[in-house]
C-alpha cells in the first residue's frame, strides 16, 4: 500500500466556501441562475446559500448539521478551520495559485462560515437537515444540484455503493443537471469510483461528463463531474 501524502482527516470537517469559490469550482454563470432552483448538498457552513438567495437564486442547502443551532455550530467552525489551516502547511498536494497563501485561504473560510451563521439564524427555511444517500425532496424539484468537497474527495470514508445511491437520489430530485467537485481524493488522485459509475447498469439512464475548470487548489482538482439525464 502506498504511503498517504494528502490531508488526513478522520471525519468530514466544517469548512465554508464562498459564492465566488463555487462559481469557479462549478463554472457557474450567476446571471443565468436567477430565478432557478438550486440545491447545495452537503453544504456545511458555506455561504453559497446566503449569497445565492441575495442574488435572486432560489438556493436550498442540505446537510445533517442543520439539526443543530447556530450557537452550537459556531465553535466547531472555528475549530475545524484552525485544524485544517495547520495541517495544510507544507502538503505537496496543494497548489497555491487561486489562494495567495494560507492566511488568504483562512480569511475566505472564516468569511464564509460567519456569513453562513448569520443567514442560518435569519433564514432557517433555506436549510434542510438530512444526509446522503437519501434526499427529502420531491422528484425533479431542482434545476441544478451541486456537491462540493464531499463525494469522491472523501472516498476513503464512503463506499462505492454510498456514492452510487447518493447520485441516484441526487438525480431523482434534479430535473436539470448535477455537478460534483472535485473529482479527485485528498491524495490528489482521480477517484476510482467515477469509472465504476459510468459502467454501472443502475445508472445507465445518466450521462457522466468531466468538465475542466480554471480553479485548482487541491492538486489535479481542475475539473468537476457533470451528470445529466439521458433523454
CA distance 221 to 214: 9
Q: Which letter does DSSP use for residue 114 in this model?
A: H
> Is 116 a member of any domain?
yes
Among residues of the chain, what percentage have pLDDT more than 90? 69
Asked if 165 and 151 count as a contact pair (C-beta separation under 8 A), the reply is: no
Give the pLDDT confidence score for residue 35 in this predicted structure: 94
Range of the domain at 208: 19-229
CA distance 218 to 175: 30
Domain tally for the chain? Answer: 1
> Is 6 a member of any domain?
no
Quick count: other Cβ atoms within 10 Å of Cβ 78? 14
Quick count: other Cβ atoms within 10 Å of Cβ 5? 13
Q: Which residues contact 77 (CB under 8 A, 6 or more apart)?
A: 14, 16, 45, 113, 117
Asked if 93 and 188 count as a contact pair (C-beta separation under 8 A), the reply is: yes
> Is 177 a member of any domain?
yes
> Is 82 a member of any domain?
yes
pLDDT digits (tens, 9 = 90+) for 99-148: 878 888 888 888 999 999 999 999 999 999 999 999 999 999 999 999 99
> Is 7 a member of any domain?
no
Across all residues in the chain, what is the average pLDDT? 90
> Is 214 a member of any domain?
yes
> Is 8 a member of any domain?
no
pTM of the predicted protein model: 0.90
> Is 12 a member of any domain?
no
The three three-digit cell numbers of residue 86, written as one number: 495547520
Residue 204 pLDDT more than 80?
Answer: yes
CATH number at residue 215: 3.40.50.150
The three three-digit cell numbers of residue 153, written as one number: 474527495
Amino acid at each position: 500500500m502506498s504511503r498517504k501524502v494528502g490531508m488526513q482527516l478522520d471525519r468530514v470537517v466544517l469548512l465554508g466556501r464562498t459564492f465566488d469559490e463555487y462559481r469557479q469550482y462549478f463554472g457557474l454563470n450567476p446571471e443565468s441562475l436567477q430565478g432557478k432552483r438550486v440545491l447545495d448538498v452537503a453544504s456545511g457552513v458555506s455561504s453559497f446559500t446566503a449569497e445565492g438567495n441575495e442574488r435572486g437564486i432560489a438556493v436550498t442547502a442540505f446537510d445533517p448539521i442543520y439539526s443543530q443551532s447556530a450557537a452550537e455550530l459556531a465553535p466547531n467552525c472555528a475549530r475545524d478551520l484552525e485544524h485544517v489551516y495547520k495541517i495544510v502547511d507544507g502538503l505537496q498536494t496543494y497548489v497555491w495559485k487561486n489562494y495567495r497563501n494560507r492566511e488568504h485561504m483562512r480569511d475566505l473560510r472564516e468569511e464564509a462560515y460567519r456569513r453562513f451563521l448569520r443567514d442560518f439564524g435569519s433564514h432557517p427555511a433555506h436549510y434542510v437537515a438530512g444526509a446522503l444517500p437519501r434526499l427529502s425532496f420531491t422528484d425533479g424539484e431542482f434545476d441544478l444540484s451541486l456537491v462540493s468537497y464531499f463525494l469522491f474527495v472523501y472516498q476513503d470514508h464512503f463506499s462505492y455503493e454510498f456514492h452510487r445511491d447518493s447520485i441516484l437520489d441526487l438525480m431523482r430530485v434534479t430535473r436539470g443537471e448535477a455537478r460534483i467537485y472535485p473529482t479527485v481524493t485528498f491524495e490528489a488522485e482521480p477517484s476510482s469510483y467515477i469509472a465504476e459509475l459510468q459502467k454501472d447498469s443502475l445508472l445507465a439512464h445518466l450521462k457522466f461528463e468531466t468538465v475542466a475548470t480554471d480553479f485548482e487548489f487541491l492538486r489535479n482538482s481542475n475539473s468537476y463531474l457533470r451528470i445529466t439525464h439521458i433523454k
